[in-house]
Amino acid sequence: MSTIKYDDSSYPVRDDLVSAHQRAWKHLSKAGSWLTGDERVKIMAETRHARSCATCAAVKDALSPFAVTDAHDAGTDLPENWVNMIHLIVADPGRLTHGWYRKTIDGGIAETHFVEIVSVVAHTTAIDTFAKGLGVPVRNLPEPQDGAPSHYRPKEARQHQAWAPNIAWDEFGPDEADYFVGPESSIRRALTLIPDEARSFFDVTSAQYLAGPQMRDFSQEFRAITHLQIELLAARVSALNQCTY
Amino acid sequence: MIEFAEAVLSEDTARLMAARQAIHDTLGADAVVDSAGVAALFNAIDRIADSTGAPLEADKAEMTAGLRAEIGIDAFAAQKEALDLGAAETAAE
C-alpha cells in the first residue's frame, strides 16, 4: 500500500506531521461510512484532476459560477453529479451557495455522501497543497482497500444553521464523546454527520496547524512560526479563497 | 508570509520558489514546513466551511464585525446571496 514520506523534501518534515499524513492516507484508502475505498480514492484523483479542468477555469472567470454550463473534464468514472460537485469545491469554493447545496442534494447526492465527499476533497487538498508549499510533487495516491461502508449515521446529527446536518456541541452521544472536547466550534461540527471524517480531518489539522489547546495558548509557541504569523497566513489564504467563515 | 500565502495558491512556480526561499532565509527550514502546513490546511478548511455552510460563531462574528466590514469580508456573503438570487431568477424565467 502506498504511504506518505517526504524524503525528497529539502526541508525536514516533522515526524508527527508525516505520521498524521500517513494515517490520513490510510483512512482515505479504506471504506468510509457511506463510500467504498475505491470511490474515495477516485474522489482524491478527481480532486487533483479538477485543478486542470478547462471548465473549472471558465467557472473561476465567470461573473457567476453557475453561468457556465459546459461539462467538466472528468478524470474518473465517478457519477457526473459527483464530478460537478468535486470540481466546484476545488475551483470556486468561495462562491458556493445554499442554493447550490440544495440543488446538489436534490440532484441525487445524499447528505451523508455529500459530507463524506467534502471530507475526502478537503483531506486531499490539505496534503496536496502542503506538497506544493514544500516544493515536492504530490504524493502517490493510496491503493483502495476492500471493505464495505459502515453506514453509520449518528442519531444526534440533525439540521442546524449550517447547510449540512451535524451534531450540536452539547448534543453528542457516547460514541462521539472523544471528539466534542474543548470550546464549541462551527468548523469542528461541519463534518460530524460522518464522525470518522471529522476525527481524521482534525487529526491532520492538529499536525499542520495546531491542536485545539495550542491555538489558545499564547504563553508559548509550538511551531517554528509564531501564533501571529500562523494567523496571518491563515487569514490571507482564507481571504484569497473568499471564505466567509 | 503574505507573499507565501499568495504564491502557494497561485500557479506561479517562480514566485512560490522565491517566497519559500525568503522564509527559509529569514526564519529557517522548519518555518518553511510550518508555513506550508498552515497555508495548505486553510486551503482545505475553507472548502469544508464553504461547501457545508458552516456559520461563523456568534461571539466571533460580534468580536470581528468591524474588521470584517473594513477588509471587505462581508461582501463575500452578500455576493453569495446575490448569486442565489440570480440563479432563482434565471430558473423562474
Mutate to test the interface with B, among A28, A237, A238, A240 (most CBs of B within 10 A): A237
pLDDT for the residue A1:
58
Question: How many Å lie between the alpha carbon of A131 and the closest alpha carbon of chain B?
Answer: 8
Nearest to A164 among B53, B77, B80 (CB): B53
Q: A29, A37 in Cβ contact below 8 A? A: yes
Q: Which residues of chain A are within 8 Å of residue B6 when distances are taken between CB atoms?
A: 236, 240
Question: How many Å lie between the alpha carbon of B70 and the closest alpha carbon of chain A?
Answer: 13
> Residue A236: pLDDT above 60?
yes
Question: How many Å lie between the alpha carbon of B72 and the closest alpha carbon of chain A?
Answer: 9
Give mean pLDDT, residues A217-238: 93
Written as one string, the DSSP assignment of chain A is: ------TT-SSPPPHHHHHHHHHHHHHHHS--SSS-HHHHHHHHHHHHHHTT-HHHHHHHHSSSTTS--SPP--SS-S-HHHHHHHHHHHH-GGG--HHHHHHHHHTT--HHHHHHHHHHHHHHHHHHHHHHHHTSPPPPPPPPPP--------TT-B--SSSS-B--TT---GGGTTT--SS--HHHHTTTTSHHHHHHHHHHHHHHS--HHHHT-TTS--SSS-HHHHHHHHHHHHHHTT---
**HEC sequence for A29-58:** HCCCCCCCHHHHHHHHHHHHHHCCCHHHHH
Which of residues B74 and A228 earns the better pLDDT score? A228
Give the model confidence (pLDDT) of B37-84 as tens digits. Answer: 999 999 999 999 999 999 988 888 887 788 777 777 777 778 888 888
Nearest to A236 among B6, B30, B34 (CB): B6
Nearest CA in chain A to B6: A237
Global pTM value: 0.95
Q: A125, B13 in Cβ contact below 8 A? A: no
Alpha carbon B93 to its chain centroid, in Å, reads: 34
Q: A243, A186 in Cβ contact below 8 A? A: no
Nearest CA in chain B to A204: B41
B46–A243 CB contact, under 8 Å: yes
Phi-psi region of A220 (alpha: psi -120 to 50; beta: other; left: phi over 0): beta
A244–B80 CB contact, under 8 Å: yes
Task: Give the Å distances, CA to CA, from B89 to A26, A38, A100, B69.
Answer: 45, 39, 14, 28
B52–A207 CB contact, under 8 Å: no
Identity of the amino acid at A20: A
Q: Which residues of chain B are within 8 Å of residue A11 when distances are taken between CB atoms?
A: 24, 29-30, 32-33
The total of other beta-carbon atoms located within 10 Å of residue A178's CB is 10
Nearest CA in chain A to B19: A133
B41–A123 CB contact, under 8 Å: no
Domain range annotation of chain A:
15-149
> Residue A127: pLDDT above 70?
yes
At residue B49, φ and ψ (nearest 5 deg) are -60, -45
- A–B interface: beta-carbon pairs under 8 A: 230
Give the model confidence (pLDDT) of A61-101 as tens digits. Answer: 998 898 899 999 999 999 999 999 999 999 999 999 999 99
ipTM: 0.96
pLDDT for the residue B84:
83
pLDDT for the residue A199:
98
| All cell numbers assigned to A229 | 504569523
